[in-house]
A and B are shown apart, each in its own frame.
Chain A
Amino acid sequence: MKDFRIEQESRGNIQLIRLQGSLDMYSFPRLESHLQTLFQQGRYAIMLDCSQLDYVGSAGLGVLIGFAKQAREHDGDLKLLRVPERIYKIIELLGFTKVLQVYNTEDTALASFQKP
């Protein structure tokens, strides 16, 4: 089990955020604060690399869809990248993949931001 960590890189106008550890009620305020800062800077195109996440609870999922909604209101989006199979099965079963876009590769996720 890893401690929750957030790292950020830029891909042009798109922000790639790498998450590590567990996104639960304890850790989600850190992601919330990070995303709020980006939005205040007018950066609404976000990719979250989830490959190093070991758990996501509903508090974390709530943050993701809340920020995806805000991003779309500003012609951006928040998309998930490389979601581990164990987590993907859960979020698909609950229905979160109906509103959150999930990609397996960075290239396909990046390309999706270019589409009208």
Chain B
Amino acid sequence: MVPDANIDVKKSTSRLFVRAPGHGSSLRPIRNVITDLARQVGFPEDEVAKIEMAVDEACTNVVEHAYEAKRNWAWKHQNPEIRLTIHTDADRLVIQIHDNGKRFDFASYRPVNLLERIRAMRSGGYGIAIMRKFMDEVEYKSDDVSGNTLRLVKHLKKS
């Protein structure tokens, strides 16, 4: 196993930018960035754990499907990257996850029943259902110019 990837983290006044190789070794450092930020924003630990898992599932899909190593996609001629843009409003955390890999046909995706799938002891296919369960908004868009962007939003509920 190679060490965790070096990821590049830059901050502007209102946003955090993360660039990481489109590889499984990037997942842990990306989770570290996300959990640190979610705690700073004020999310309780239970919600931090949900945000961590949702972002990990999203980035896992990029590595596993968008940048699927077994296929000769056009991206192989570039540097496959995961790029995250994160910002916070007064009451929400917005995480955009960007890649230039294979497009996912989000429109044709049929939501799975998480519990039915677990009871059937299926070994995969949970990622999007987990993102939808743990985040308040999940949106995907893709075009030939900008590539693929998944937008995850979590509202900070004030008690």
Binding site for B on A (CB under 8 A): 1, 3-4, 22, 24-27, 30, 55, 57-59, 61-63, 65-66, 68-69, 86, 89-90, 93-96, 98-99
Partner of B53, one of A1, A30, A57, A99: A57
Q: A95-B114, A98-B115 are in contact. Are A59 and B130 (CB under 8 A)?
A: no
* Chain A residues whose C-beta falls within 8 Å of the C-beta of B122 in the assembled complex: 62, 65
B82 to chain A, nearest CB (A): 12
Q: Which of A22, A58, A86 contacts B57 (CB 8 A)?
A: A58
* Residues in B neighbouring A68, C-beta threshold 8 A: 121
CA distance A33 to B129 in the complex (A): 27
Complex contact B119–A25 (CB within 8 A) = no
Beta-carbon contact of A65 and B28 below 8 Å: no
A–B Cβ pairs within 8 angstroms, 9 of them: A3-B1, A4-B1, A22-B31, A26-B27, A55-B28, A55-B52, A57-B53, A65-B122, A95-B119
Query: Would B24 and A26 count as touching, CB distance under 8 A?
Result: yes
A86-B45 CB under 8 A given contacts A4-B1, A62-B124, A95-B115: yes
Describe B's contact surface by its main secondary structure.
helix
A58 pairs with B31, CB closer than 8 A: no
Q: Is B133 an interface residue (CB 8 A)?
A: yes
Residues of chain B having any CB pair with chain A under 8 Å:
1, 24-25, 27-28, 31-32, 45-46, 49-50, 52-53, 56-57, 60, 63-64, 114-115, 118-119, 121-124, 126-127, 130, 133
Shortest CB distance A26–B (Å): 3
* Candidate in B1, B56, B114, B123 with the most chain A CB atoms within 10 angstroms: B123
A69 to B122, CA, bound (A): 9
CB distance from B6 to the nearest CB of A (A): 15
Contact check, A26 vs B25: say whether CB atoms are below 8 A apart.
yes
- B130 A65 Cβ-Cβ under 8 A: no
Known: A57-B57, A57-B60, A94-B130. A66 touches B123 (CB 8 A): yes
Q: Closest Cβ of chain B: how far from A6's Cβ, in Å?
A: 11
Tell me which residues across on chain B come within 8 A of A59, comparing CB atoms: 60, 124
Contact of A24 among B32, B45, B60, B130 (CB under 8 A): B60
With A4-B1, A94-B133 already in contact, the answer to whether A24 and B126 are too (CB < 8 A) is: no
* Residues on A with beta carbons closer than 8 Å to the beta carbon of B50: 90
Find chain A residues with CB under 8 A from B1 CB. 3-4, 26-27, 30
Q: Which residues of A have CB within 8 Å of B31?
A: 22, 55
Closest to B56 in A: A57
